[in-house]
Copies of this chain bind each other. A is one copy, B any other.
Amino acid sequence: MRSFASDNYAGVHPEIMDAMFKANVGDMPSYGEDPVSGRAVDLFKKHFGDQAQIYFIATGTATNTLILKHITRSWNSVICSTYGHIHVDECGSPEAVAGIKLITARTANGKLTPDAVVEQMYAKGFVHHSQPAVVSFAQCTELGTIYTVQEIKDICDAAHNEGLLVHMDGARLANAAAALGTSFKEMTVDAGVDVLSFGGTKNGCMCAEAAVFLKPGLGDDFRFVRKQGMQLISKMRFIGAQFERFLADDELWRQNALQANSMAALLAEKAAQVDGVKISGPVEANGVFAFIPEDCIAPLQEKCPFYIWDELTGEVRWMTSFMTTEQDIDDFVAALKETLSNRK
């Protein structure tokens, strides 16, 4: 049975796998000097503008940590959500690898607000206090919610007004753009985002992430940070090949994201009808958060893997992916029903 544990339990989209296969011809320069990577970079510029500086990376953790390292000095802090992936889910990588202090701000449904950011801007210039330099937030958020373009603009305006740079963790940016029906550009560079972690892996790639600097010149010298940060893949052409297919004009990225999103909506709709299930937050992208009776969690996990999101409250998380089908949803909801009815 299909897993609902994470969108990274899915494999690779067949057409992306095929693109990697096709890139495997003859010798090519390593470390990104190859023509495949060159074409992929050009596609990124088509999406984000000619000023964009693009660096391919293998993991999302590295993309986030190395970007933040690059745009801070050691005495700077980064403001993020209390739920921020960089704060709770990267095993202290920003602190240990980059020496960065994270400052957590309150959120509404997982989303930062301009007020929550500005609230952290005290003790400016006070030498005992780490000085905030960046706001970092995820689109989609860790709670599966999505910032509107206007909400992004408002945060960027507030941040810039305070002298902060804006970093967006776009591990699931495709899901957000698909849900809102926008281009990548509208919700990033046009809204004021300075630098983006762009994710392909969760939406059908094998391992393809990119640090995309949107503010002109901000990515200068980042190539040294990437190499030193142990992320300069030698046979880079195979990341280039993934992105070339992912970002092609037929918008495979959007097709994949729409499939994942619509399956989450379907799951939420059908699961909500099961007695004993409570959907606990808005379903805007490809994640469904819910409460089910605590003694049903383990039996259901045995049938189909998923994560407990909050150990204290027992809230669970179900993720869909580009590979999830209606049949998968039906099977899972059937298993859910069965588990809950066995209980009574």
Which chain A residues have a beta carbon within 8 Å of chain B's beta carbons? 2-3, 5-6, 8-12, 14, 17, 20-21, 23-31, 58-62, 65-66, 69, 73-77, 88-93, 95-97, 99-101, 104, 119, 122-123, 127-131, 201-202, 206-207, 221, 223-225, 227-235, 237-238, 305, 311-312, 321, 323
Instruction: Give the chain B neighbours of A88 by CB distance below 8 A.
Output: 129
Contact yes or no, A97 B230, CB < 8 A = yes
Known: A8-B30, A73-B221, A93-B227. 12 other contacts (CB 8 A): A2-B26, A5-B30, A11-B235, A12-B235, A27-B323, A58-B231, A75-B225, A91-B224, A127-B224, A201-B235, A207-B238, A229-B230
10 smallest CB-CB distances across A and B, nearest first, come from A75-B224, A62-B230, A92-B130, A96-B99, A8-B234, A92-B101, A3-B27, A91-B228, A8-B30, A11-B24
The quantity of this chain's copies bound in the complex is 4
Residue of B nearest to A89 (CB): B128
- If the complex has contacts A61-B232, A97-B97, are A91 and B227 also in contact, measured as CB distance less than 8 A? yes
A325 to chain B, nearest CB (A): 12
Contact yes or no, A97 B27, CB < 8 A = no
Contact yes or no, A101 B97, CB < 8 A = no
Contact of A207 among B11, B26, B224, B235 (CB under 8 A): B235
Instruction: Give the chain B neighbours of A234 by CB distance below 8 A.
Output: 6, 8, 59-60, 201-202, 207
Instruction: Give the chain B neighbours of A130 by CB distance below 8 A.
Output: 91-92, 95, 228
Instruction: Give the chain B neighbours of A101 by CB distance below 8 A.
Output: 92, 95-96
A72 to chain B, nearest CB (A): 10
Residue of B nearest to A205 (CB): B235
